[in-house]
Amino acid sequence: GLGPAGSLWNSSAKVAGLMSGGRARGVFFRPDGHVFGPFFDPQRPFSAISTVRRLNAYTDDLELDSEAFLSVFGAASSPEEGPAPGFYHFSGSPADTFGEDVERMHLDPLQEFLKLDPSRSSINLWVGQAGVVTPCHYDGYHNMYVQLAGRKRFVMYPPSAWKALHTYPFLHPSFGQCQANLTSPPAPSSWVSYVTKLAFGGALL
């Protein structure tokens, strides 16, 4: 079961305590809104084209020490708290952020899902404030989401919706992100979508 991992990772205070004086790197920050994306990779070839521009402003290289991490992601946090007013989320490798020993010791319940091909498997930790939205996108690999605290809502579309979602091409800085605006205006009702909500202990394959 997920009990051992869940009991350690199910609060921002416990996660902050694992930093041992270190810092969480690569924290996303946006001062003017809770929607992060479409994400933008300036290393992609099409970024050199003058008409290709980032569509919303966010920072993805912020560093937080344990105290700042707790103030941003704590249970009572709000967009007015933290190093600067705005919205934050963190996505990164527990091994890189907290050390390989921490990942090995405290994520053992997940190893069962990785052992078939460990060289092609990885664990990411995602921590977000309430209301933070990751826009429509697809990943080029299989995912398993395990909810360790709070709740998360997923809206999923079948492969047949690819043309309507109109994802950016491979060479574009926003590769894999949807060009269709699914938040405003709302998605057309003719598009089939599947909604699921995860709470503590839930998993989505």
CATH of the domain at 183: 2.60.120.10
* Number of structural domains found in the chain: 1
Q: What is the pTM of this model?
A: 0.79
**% of the chain beyond a pLDDT of 90:** 21
Q: Mean pLDDT across the stretch 4-31?
A: 74
Q: Which contacts (CB < 8 Å, 24+ apart) does range 160-166 have?
A: 160/192, 161/191, 161/192, 161/193, 164/188, 164/191, 165/136
Domain that holds residue 179: 3-204
Exposure of 126 by Cβ count < 10 A (0-12 exposed, 13-18 middle, 19+ buried)? middle
Q: What is the pLDDT of residue 85?
A: 85
pLDDT tens-digit readout, 131-174:
898 889 988 788 888 888 889 999 998 888 888 889 999 999 99
